[in-house]
Amino acid sequence: MDAVMDPPSVPLAVESLDFRLVWRGRDPFRLDETYIKMLSLLPAPTRALHIRIPEWSTKSTLPLSQLLTSPTLRDVKLIATSPRALDPIFISWLDVTSFALHQIAPTSLVLTQCLPSRLLAKRTDAKWTLPRTITYLDLGSNGLTAGDLAFLQPRLPPRLRDLDLSRNQFHKVVTPLPESLRA
């Protein structure tokens, strides 16, 4: 008879978590089931969380928010490698994620192919902001427009030293930028 092992009584402590999912299947609903189940099984890291999955969806809100719980988490990268058109409901994911990010106060934040271009200003709560603690921000490859930048400009963190806006859809940067970027 096979022995059944009890789960460990002490939770697994993880400093840095780098999760990458490559999906070669054709069924997007199966993809959602797969990565949401996998995300829900991961321990919350204490220093760095890097997640690279084919796409972010509203369904991923809960497992992601459970990973964004450590008050010592400082480095967050959320990357979609092959996103479908973002549903306006996705903004709820952005609002929940923003709330979680304010609770942990990261200094480095990368959101690649995660922000809904042309929907950001229209569908996001007017009170939405980026955490003030961020010094490095990468919003590359989000298809952001001049209108999106106008929405983000007053919400940029005051201590921001590095800003990556590459691979977007604007031709002029909205000013003024935070003083810390101009130095």
What residue ranges define each of the domains in the chain, with the CATH number in brackets?
15-182 (3.80.10)
Query: Tell me: the pLDDT tens digits for 51-79?
Result: 988 877 777 777 888 888 888 999 999 88
* E strand segments, 5-159: 14-20, 45-53, 75-80, 108-112, 136-138
Which H helix or E strand runs over 164?
strand 162-164
Q: Is the dihedral of CA 104, 109, 112, 116 positive or negative?
A: positive
- How many CA atoms lie less than 13 Å away from 147 in the CB half-sphere? 9
Give the separation between CA 10 and CA 25, rounded to whole angstroms: 36
pLDDT value of position 89 = 47
> What are 85's two structure tokens?
């058109």
pLDDT value of position 176 = 87
Give the separation between CA 134 and CA 82, rounded to whole angstroms: 26
pTM over cut 0.85: no
pLDDT value of position 134 = 93
Question: Which parts of the chain register pLDDT below 70?
Answer: 1-11, 25-29, 83-97, 99, 116, 118-119, 121-124, 183
> What are 47's two structure tokens?
């220093």
Q: Are 74 and 47 in contact (CB under 8 A)?
A: yes
Give the separation between CA 20 and CA 43, rounded to whole angstroms: 15
Sheet with strand 136-138: strands edge to edge: 14-20, 45-53, 75-80, 108-112, 136-138, 162-164
